[in-house]
Amino acid sequence: MPQPDLVPKSSENAPDPVSSRRSAAEKNQTLGQGARQRFGGDSLKGTLIKIILLGLVDAFAVYVLMMLFLSQSWGALAISAIVVLAINWIYLRKGGLPAKYLAPGVLFLLVFQVLVVFFSGYIAFTNYGDGHNSTKEDAIAAIQLTAQKRVPDSPAYKTSVLTKDNNFYLLFTDPTGKVELGSTGQPLTEESDAGKDGTGKANSLPGYSTLKFQEIVANQQEILKISVPVSSNAADGTLRTADGSTAYQFKPALNYDKAKDTFTDTESGAVYTDNGKGAFADKTGKTLTTGWKIDVGMANFVKAFTDPSLQGPLLGVILWTFTFSIASVILTFVMGLFLAITFNREDLRGKKVYRILMILPYAFPAFLSGLVWSGILNPEFGWLNQTLLGGANIGWLTDPFLAKISVLVVNLWLGFPYMFLVCTGALQSLPSELDEAARMDGASAWRVFRSIKLPLLLVSVAPLLISSFAFNFNNFNVIYMLTGGGPRFADTDRDIGSTDILITLVYKVAFGQGTGRDYGLASALAIIIFIIVATISAISFKQTKALEDVN
């Protein structure tokens, strides 16, 4: 009796799994070789191009490393060296194709995003700003250099003003006939090949151009600022000229005692000591102008909410920032959605032209539009008051309430085209069958919109509304170009106004409009903005996810 065939007949023609895997591997290898040949990965030409490009990168890297070494920036030097070695390892080794594509993007992300964020966070915990932007040693040298008084018995130095590479230099001839050259930050150096006139005054030097009297007068302000160190020791004083022909020696009016770490005023006898806050101060609390950068912990965050010049205005600015951001999102979305529905009718003629006209405000730069609107709304000579309202004197930009309304209206004009485009695309993606089925069931147009179209629109548009909120929360252009943050509050010495939002406040604090530059406080405020926006965005995205689950 014949035994039954236990192997299905169909398996007789089935491919061997081992052979299949071997064929797939050979196919992938063939494709990989073809790709390498096509892109020149292993070819001589590709190798040469890679070596040349890496050589250029390495040449620039060596220059940067040398500059970091000379400036004794050891941390940056170590990190830069590691990055250079990593780049060479990635591009010189075989394989690792994804890393070769990702490396440039990751590097730029780290340098221009991550590094900037971490540096801003670090600055928020320091007193970095005007008078506190360097080390203590630099501050001591700057104090000695700036607190200068003319030495009573200083000899007169015959002086000529020279120029080279758009820089000014002073050529001195002392009473003994010795000729020396110097400039601001460049100590005196003796010059033996200088040309002299009949009186023995040096007036020329090879490679330099000598300024005539008319040229000296034309550049008087720059020449008066020149302060030439007598030597590398700041205590030896400087040479300065008031007329470009004669110079005198100046010495610091504050003597620095390195052993005691104190400055003493040569006239009053006041002693300035390190007050532990990055400055020298006397017993009365008076500080010298130049200080140095130190770590202050949470002091900037505390200052933001306790400083009398900031406390009241800051709360008002925060409230207006939320109001401006939320109102801008709502107004632009409602206007954009209304226009999108209006121009989405199939029987509407010329709707392409209308759509182009609707997005024109979006095509103009926001800062330029802000300047144009500031002219239109000007209370004195603006087109709106003088032409449309017959010469009325309405303070569209000077009254606190009207200025806020003006800002919202202008931002609506700038922002609705974006929402119009977004809503138009979302409406066109909705299936028409839903609309038809609802109408057949007797639903009105408003019911169809409220119960069907709007929920479906929000699913796709909600993330864009969140991003629009984040954008308007930091909408610097429209505020600064339209009102400059004004009208200004009367209860603060800082330049803070009714229409300022947090980002314009940060700009004014950082760049010294009112009380000088304070980068530490500005960075602390920037971190507060980041926390607020990140928190609101996280909550909003969570709600958006819930909205998607419901729909």
- Please tell me the least confidently modeled range out of 116-120, 170-174, 203-207, 347-351: 347-351
pLDDT tens column, 522-537: 999 999 999 999 999 8
* Span(s) in the chain for CATH 2.40.430.10: 148-265
Name 229's bridge partners: 238
- Residue bearing tokens 């200004």: 488
pLDDT of 17 > 70? The answer is: no
Instruction: Quick: pLDDT tens for 81-104.
Output: 999 999 999 988 888 888 988 998
**Please, which contacts does 334-340 make with residues 24 or more away whose CB atoms are closer than 8 Å?**
335/412, 335/416, 335/419, 335/420, 336/415, 336/416, 336/417, 336/418, 336/419, 336/420, 336/421, 336/422, 336/423, 337/419, 337/423, 337/457, 339/416, 339/420, 340/419, 340/420, 340/423, 340/424, 340/427
Task: Tell which residue, 223, 249, 247, 246, has the closest CA to residue 238.
Answer: 249
Report for 16-20, 156-160, 198-202: range of highest mean pLDDT:
156-160
Q: Which fold has domain 306-550?
A: MetI-like fold (1.10.3720)
pLDDT class for 350, splitting at 50, 70, 90? Answer: confident
* Cβ pair 459, 361 in contact under 8 A: no
Which pLDDT tens digit goes with each residue over 44-77? 787 788 889 889 999 999 999 999 898 888 888 9
- C-alpha dist (Å) from residue 355 to 87, 118, 295, 481, 550: 49, 43, 55, 27, 33
Radius of gyration of the chain measured on its C-alpha atoms? 35
Q: What is the DSSP string of 34-92?
A: HHHHHHTSSSHHHHHHHHHHHHHHHHHHHHHHHHHHHTT-HHHHHHHHHHHHHHHHHHH
Rounded distance between C-alpha atoms, residue 365 and residue 456, angstroms: 32
Q: pLDDT at position 144, please?
A: 85
CATH superfamily of 148-265: D-maltodextrin-binding protein, MBP (2.40.430.10)
Inform me whether the pLDDT recorded for 471 exceeds 90: yes
Start and end residues for every CATH 1.10.3720.10 domain found in the chain: 306-550
pLDDT per residue as tens digits for the range 217-238: 999 989 998 999 998 888 888 9
